[in-house]
Amino acid sequence: MADYEITGIRQGGMDGRTHHIEAVKVGESLFLVDQIIDWTKDEVHRFWIWFQEERIDIVALQHGSSRRFYLTVDGGGFPPAALLSLPRV
């Protein structure tokens, strides 16, 4: 399993979900968030971000009502929306 830093995000929003991330930047490549979720859930790769000068792991969780998976930070007292602080691509 390899570790990769997420360095940017592309937000969706056409469906009214203001915090919807549709793709993330890893290195020089842009990946659909569903691909990152699959790799995370299947433990193929691990992803992380820098936030407030700390490395924070990214996890895939399932939303309670919609049952759809989404990416968020792995605890540590950081806000769940820390991914939204990344540059837009």
Better-scored residue on pLDDT, 5 or 52: 5
Q: Which conformational region is residue 53 in: left (phi greater than 0), alpha (psi within -120 to 50 degrees), or beta?
A: left
| Tens-place pLDDT, residues 24-71 | 999 999 999 999 999 999 999 999 999 999 999 999 999 888 899 999
Gap between the Cα atoms of 38 and 78, Å rounded: 23
pTM of the model: 0.88
Does residue 17 register a pLDDT over 60? Answer: no
Q: Which amino acid is at 39?
A: W
